[in-house]
């Protein structure tokens, strides 16, 4: 355990004053129901939000709140946090209950939650300026791409449905399978005149995005 933690610190180029904070940030609730990363994830999510919203505020002083909000959403969603967590190698060090399981990119929620928890741990262990610089470094590519606002699939489908039919898309939970620490949600989505499309994901939001994306592609909605 200590060897792995020291290795991860070297990869991050961060020396924790309290290694216990880093261990906690990497501990999923399936491994420890009481001493896990949930509270650090809560904190990290807020720290990331503050840093990135301030960065967007400074980068785009002439844009209105609605456009900034869309740019922000494209920086902090689960998929982006997962990709960033993966890029820094956090998946190699996550502690889960099933020691035989190997974390892969399908475990989006686990990876993204650990990424946020890591930010929370760095904030407590170091200080705000330190964690701010760390966030801006690992989010740099995504921040650079934020110059082009890309609507997510749910938003795009909602705008199309309201414009054409004056009704919201219809989402319905079909099933939840798999273990508690890695659930698989299936959610159906449809709009007026369309068939139902089934989306899958490790969270309801991810499954809804997947279903909306499939519907947009099938209906050739641009």
- pLDDT tens series, the chain, 222 aa: 556 889 999 999 999 999 999 999 999 999 898 999 999 999 999 999 999 999 999 998 888 787 788 788 889 988 899 999 999 999 999 999 887 778 888 889 999 999 999 999 999 999 999 999 999 999 999 998 776 545 678 988 999 999 999 999 999 999 999 887 778 899 999 999 999 999 998 888 889 989 999 999 888 887
- The confidence score (pLDDT) of residue 91 equals 93
Complete domains list, the chain, with CATH: 2-145 (1.10.1520.10), 153-219 (3.30.160.20)
In this prediction, residue 1 carries a pLDDT of 58
Helix (H) or strand (E) holding 131: helix 128-138
- pLDDT score recorded for residue 147: 60
Q: How far apart, in whole angstroms, are the C-alpha atoms of residue 7 and residue 102?
A: 18
The 10 Å Cβ neighbour count of residue 181 is 17
**DSSP structure class, residue 89:** T
In the prediction, which pLDDT does 150 show?
53
Cα four-point dihedral sign 83, 85, 87, 89:
negative
CA distance 184 to 110: 12
Scan for tokens 């606002």, then name that residue.
Answer: 149
* Per-residue pLDDT, 12: 94
Q: Does pTM surpass 0.85? A: no
- 69 catalytic residue (yes or no): no
Q: Is 220 a catalytic residue?
A: no
Query: Partners of 95 in the beta sheet?
Result: 27
The active-site residue out of 107, 108, 116, 208 is 116
Q: Point out the catalytic residue in the list 41, 45, 125, 152.
A: 45
Whole-number Å distance between alpha carbons of 124 and 18: 10
């Amino acid at each position: 355990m200590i060897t792995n933690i020291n290795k991860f610190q070297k990869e991050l180029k961060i020396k924790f004053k309290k290694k216990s904070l880093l261990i906690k940030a990497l501990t999923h609730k399936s491994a420890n129901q009481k001493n896990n990363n949930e509270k650090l994830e809560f904190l990290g999510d807020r720290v990331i939000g503050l840093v990135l919203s301030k960065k967007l505020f400074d980068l785009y002083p002439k844009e209105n709140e609605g456009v900034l909000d869309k740019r922000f959403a494209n920086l902090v969603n689960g998929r982006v946090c997962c990709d960033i967590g993966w890029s820094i190698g956090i998946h190699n060090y996550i502690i889960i209950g099933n020691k035989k399981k190997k974390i892969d990119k399908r475990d989006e929620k686990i990876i993204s939650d650990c990424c946020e928890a890591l930010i929370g741990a760095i904030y407590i262990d170091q200080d705000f300026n330190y964690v701010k610089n760390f966030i801006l470094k690992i989010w740099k590519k995504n921040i650079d791409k934020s110059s082009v606002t890309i609507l997510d699939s749910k938003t795009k489908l909602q705008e199309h449905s309201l414009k054409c039919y004056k009704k919201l898309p219809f989402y319905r939970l079909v099933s939840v399978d798999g273990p508690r620490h890695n659930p698989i949600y299936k959610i159906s989505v449809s709009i007026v005149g369309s068939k139902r499309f089934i989306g899958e994901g490790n969270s309801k939001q991810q499954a809804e995005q997947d279903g909306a994306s499939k519907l947009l592609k099938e209906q050739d909605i641009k």
